A = this chain, B = another copy of it.
Amino acid sequence: MTRTLATTPATDGFRMPGEFDPHQGTWMLWPERPDTWRWGAKPAQAAYAEVARAISEFERVTMCVSPGQFANARQVLPEAVRVVEMTSNDAWVRDCGPSFLINDAGEVRGVDWRFNAWGGLESGLYSPWDQDDMVGQKILELENVARYAAPLILEGGSIEVDGDGTLLTTRECLLNHDRNPDLGLAEIEAQLGEYLGISKIIWLEKGVYNDETEGHIDNLARFARPGVVMLDWTDDTTDPQYPISLDAFQRLSQATDARGRKLEVIKLPQPGPLHMTQDESRGVDVVEGTQPREAGLRLAASYVNFYLCNGAVIMPLLDERTDAVAADLIQRGFPDRRVVGVAAREILLGGGDIHCITQQQPLARRR
């Protein structure tokens, strides 16, 4: 068999399906680094375990765990969750994992992007990131899924597709000079087309305010289905999130997708604003070269960072004042799915949320 293909997905008739399409299962990475997660990551591990448990009610979950944490993770996680050894630098499989593809015959392949920890030595969040960069290859190989090795530095959270030829992203992230400084917009568009089977890219400007990923779309705007986008929103015109969301709303409202459709936009109210407390910033190791986690930090909290699994939406619970309203709006956007809320502030303290810590593997059709 050929594990790494020399062709490209577009040439071979492969494309990235929507997250709402049927899954074979979900991948996650186990958190442990003490300079991201307070108190030796024990509270974060409990939060990740709860996300895994919630998803495992709907589909298979595989938790990838370093050798030193294997026994503990196996103990903490429900038996339904498969635990496999896989070393990483942190626990964001959305960003360092593969993007799975499918073709019309129902075969599954994967794109393994290059990864530089959200900005490399210049503005990345930690160093090194060598183990993260191997996660994509390791997952694909473990599953015997053929791999395309893309030359692009790209995190899975920086792109959002409708499975129908359309991709949403932001200039803040994909055109950032700390990712692919030698490539212009046209070249990046060409590569996204080639590796994701995309024919139309809708560019937004910026991601959520103070998002340390530098503008990941998956915290700002997501497809509920082709033609329908959910957008992180605030009505507070004095909030720094307001102009970002307004600009995104205007661009989405004016855009058409790959099939020429106008987009319906559902606004999800942002929680908070939320900030890291003194108590929450204690217990995090301070390491030079790693993103600081200081008290008072404005958290990039957003309900848009939900995860779709078979028959359900796993949504972050972040703020008692807004959780119910958000859940109701999400339920209306996904009338056929169960909406399951999971307490997610502990994940948010590490810089992301439920969508950032999950990666879907589409269901292959038996041939």
Which residue numbers of A lie inside 8 Å of B, CB to CB?
1-4, 66-67, 70-71, 74, 79-80, 82-87, 131, 134, 137-138, 141-142, 144
| Residues of B with C-beta under 8 A to A2 | 79
A79 proximity list for chain B (CB < 8 A): 1-4
**Once the chains bind, are A131 and B82 in contact (CB under 8 Å)?**
no
How many identical subunits does the complex contain? 2
**Docked-complex contact B1 and A70, CB < 8 angstroms:** no
**A142:B82 contact, CB within 8 angstroms:** yes
Are A85 and B144 in contact (CB-based, < 8 A)? no
Find the B residue at minimum CB distance from A71: B134
Contact A85 B82 (CB under 8 A): no
Of B67, B82, B138, the residue contacting A87 (CB under 8 A) is B67
A71–B137 CA distance with the chains assembled, in angstroms: 10
How far does the alpha carbon of A66 sit from the alpha carbon of B83 in the complex, in Å? 16
CA distance A1 to B56 in the complex (A): 11
By beta carbon, the residue of chain B nearest A144 is B82
Residue numbers in B under 8 Å from A82 (CB-CB): 141-142, 144
Question: A80 and B141: CB pair below 8 A?
Answer: no
Q: What residues on B are CB-neighbors of A142 within 8 Å? A: 82, 84, 142
In the bound complex, residues from chain B placing their C-beta under 8 Å from that of A134 are 70-71
- In the bound assembly, the distance between CA atoms of A270 and B131 in angstroms comes to 45
Judging by beta carbons under 8 Å apart, are B83 and A85 in contact?
no
Chain B residues with CB under 8 A of A138? 70, 84-85
A87 cross-chain contacts in B, Cβ below 8 A: 67, 85
**How far, in Å, is A53 (CB) from chain B's closest CB?**
14
A88 CA to B79 CA, complexed, in Å? 23
Contacts of A70 in B (CB 8 A): 134, 138
